[in-house]
Amino acid sequence: MGALNCIAIKWGDLYSGEHVNRLYRAAKRRSARDVRFFCMTDRDDGLDPAIERLPLLEAPYEARMRAALAHAPKQGALRKIAMFRPDLVHDLDGPMLALDIDIVITGALDDLADFAPGKVAMRRPFSARVDPPTYGEGSVIKFEPAVHPFLYEDMASDPEGAVRDCRGSEQTYTSTAAYRRGAFEAFPDAWIVSFKRHCRPAPPFNLVLPPRLPPEARVVCFHGRPKIDEARDGFRGKLTRSTRPARWIAENSV
């Protein structure tokens, strides 16, 4: 059995090295295998020495991609596509799990890595009405660089067309590129959940009841507010966004 390969991408100062370290430690806790963890970044200060650094350099297509993105309906995180470069890790053995930093790992990651061999796997969108339309949610992506080079090459060969077709959404780009080639498979919905949609009680019960962790969840995603630390400690905002403290977050994100 090979190692569990995980990668996160971090640029700018929105997240610190410690945020990546938390993800790395959680991956180690939630895998029965050795974990090989990569961080592709332009700032590697504060990263655990065991995390393998990958420089986040300007991709050959990036200037054209940014120019096209400036006119797109959505300003998505298309820089993440650099993670798909087929030769990024020369000695990689097995699939890679691309993990957003704003997630909490709560269950077995090996299940995600072993799911649908040879396919690109993502969770179906949390909302039935997504604009732009997409096949998958981008917080967790299982892919195999040697098997799915098109995830990088489609953007590299025609950044203007790729941005136009995905309307500026990274998850639309990734899932559609795989779907068109018959290489897309959706993770079971119960494995990857949204804190806002699946953990926090519906209003007004969110004001009195603590958030619950669904029993089959391997990953909990945080999009918008509250953020992970806010949900852990309790968050007071609009009625629909407020939440009681979620104690289980601290247990899974140290």
Please enumerate in sequence order all residues whose Cβ is within 8 A of that of 102, keeping only pairs 6 or more positions apart, or say none.
Answer: 15, 139, 221, 222, 223, 227, 228
**Distance in angstroms (rounded) separating the CA atoms of residues 148 and 230:** 37
83 and 99 Cβ atoms separated by less than 8 Å: no
Place of tokens 């799911």: 115
- pLDDT 10s per residue in the chain (254 long)? 689 999 999 999 999 999 999 999 999 999 999 999 999 999 999 999 999 999 999 999 999 999 999 999 999 999 999 999 999 999 999 999 999 999 999 999 999 999 999 999 999 999 888 888 899 999 999 999 999 999 999 999 999 999 999 999 999 999 999 999 999 999 999 999 999 999 999 999 999 999 999 999 999 999 989 999 999 999 998 888 899 999 999 999 88
136 and 125 Cβ atoms separated by less than 8 Å: yes
Q: What are the structural domains of the chain?
A: 4-187 (3.90.550.10), 191-252 (no CATH)
What pLDDT was estimated at residue 1? 65
Closest C-alpha to 140, from 97, 186, 78:
97
What pLDDT was estimated at residue 221? 98
pLDDT digits (tens, 9 = 90+) for 204-230: 999 999 999 999 999 999 998 999 999
What pLDDT was estimated at residue 130? 83
